Structure 1
Amino acid sequence: MRLFAALWPPPDVVRELERAVDALKGLPGAEALRWTQPESWHFTLSFYGEVDEEQARDLSTRLARAAHRAQGPVPVRLEGAGRFGDRTLWAGLHMADADREALKKLAAATTAAGRRAGLLPPDEHPSFRPHLTLARAKGRRTTDLRPYVTQLAPFQGSSWTAGELLLVHSVPPRSGVPGEQPRYEPLERWPLGP
């Protein structure tokens, strides 16, 4: 099964962003994008790929420790937008510098948990850039995402507290319908902090 560690925004925060994203879908060229579903919106801390059951149990134990050792819940707010080239459109997080450091440490701890469980290479130290993926270019196409970033840049959602770490199963689409997206099922949740 494909697993990743993530933070999940609460439903009221998702609804705020969803209204802003709906306005983007009316921009020229929006049909060239594959829009992610609001119920799947999350912030990936670490991606582990294919994991067998024994590895998943080991990973779960290690993630529970990482969550317990975290400084505690982190106050955040969805804000602004960005892009990775002309392929991915995302929403960002706003937080105080100390909270950003706490979140970076949590991401590093989830990556270390994956390394110790034998799921990630020992030399892998990815940089953490918190983002919530909103859309991707379809197929091998690229799309000028600058107008979308410009329109979403002023967005500021309500503050919320990231208070738990989730281990999530990415269930691949099975229908064969082009553009169908994976479904995300939280397997375990741990509160952040002692």
Structure 2
Amino acid sequence: MRLFAAVVPPEDALDELARAVDQLHAEPGARRLRWTGRPGWHYTLAFMGEVEDRLLPELHARLERAARHSEPFRLRMHGGGRFDGRVLWVGAAGDLDGIRLLAERTEAAARRAGVSMEQHRRYTAHLTLARSRYDADLRPYVAQLSAFEGEAWTVDELALVRSNLPGGGQPGEQPRYEIVEAWPLGR
């Protein structure tokens, strides 16, 4: 099962982001980007990749413990950025130490449960909006997102999400995400 741990913004925050993304779709070249759909909008904390079923009970227990040891924190969507010319994202503001700590704890929990965490990178809180198969000039999109400032919300839950990759070969087909389990923070 392909899994990752994430923070899923509330519907109000996603509504704000949807309005900003609608404006980005009007930019020249927007049709050449592969835009993520609203069901895929989340802040990934730790990507685990394929996880063997036998590891799931221990993974769940350790993620629950990581959530319990993490206090709720305030976050808001803020600005934007890019990874090279391939990924466009919206950032975060607020308690960035809180989300970094939660990311570190979820990664450690997965590692201790026996999940191979080979794809570790320095954590940058971001929500992916679009991807490109080639190096694209994403600067106009980043510039437009620079003024984006969402309302703050309280992050009070850690989600374990299953990623179902597209397999139908349909153009524009998106991965499907399903929350396998979620744990409240700090309780």
Q: Output the TM-score relative to the length of structure 1.
A: 0.92
Q: Output the TM-score relative to the length of structure 2.
A: 0.96
Q: Note the residue ranges of structure 1 that are not aligned, 5 or more in a row.
A: none
What is the count of residue pairs matched by the alignment?
Answer: 187
Which residue number in structure 2 is paired with residue 88 of structure 1?
Answer: 87
Alignment of 1:16-95 (within 5 A): 16-70=16-70, 72-95=71-94
State the shift of 1:174 in Å: 2.5
What is the CA–CA distance in structure 2 between the aligned matches of 1:125 and 1:34, rounded to whole Å? 24
Which residue number in structure 2 is paired with residue 160 of structure 1?
Answer: 153
Change (3 A) 1:5 1:148: same
What is the CA–CA distance in structure 2 between the aligned matches of 1:157 and 1:64, rounded to whole Å? 29
- 1:133 matched to 2:128: yes
State the shift of 1:131 in Å: 0.1
CA deviation map 1:81-122 (0-9, x unaligned): 000010000001111xxx32222111111111111112125x
Which residue number in structure 2 is paired with residue 100 of structure 1?
Answer: 96
Misfit runs of 4+, over 4 Å: none
What is the CA–CA distance in structure 1 between the aligned matches of 2:127 and 2:99, rounded to whole Å? 14
What is the CA–CA distance in structure 2 between the aligned matches of 1:124 and 1:39, rounded to whole Å? 24
Q: Is the 8 A contact 2:47 2:119 kept in 1?
A: no
- 1:180 matched to 2:176: no
2:131 partner letter? R
State the shift of 1:178 in Å: 2.8
Change (3 A) 1:125 1:33: closer
- 1:15 matched to 2:15: yes
Q: Secondary structure at the match of 2:62?
A: helix
Q: Secondary structure at the match of 2:68?
A: helix
State the shift of 1:125 in Å: 5.4
Identity of aligned residues (%): 51
Q: Secondary structure at the match of 1:157?
A: coil
Change (3 A) 1:124 1:14: closer
Change (3 A) 1:146 1:117: same
CA deviation map 1:143-177 (0-9, x unaligned): 10000000111011111111100000001113211
What is the CA–CA distance in structure 2 between the aligned matches of 1:173 and 1:5, rounded to whole Å? 20
CA deviation map 1:7-39 (0-9, x unaligned): 000111101111111111111111110000012
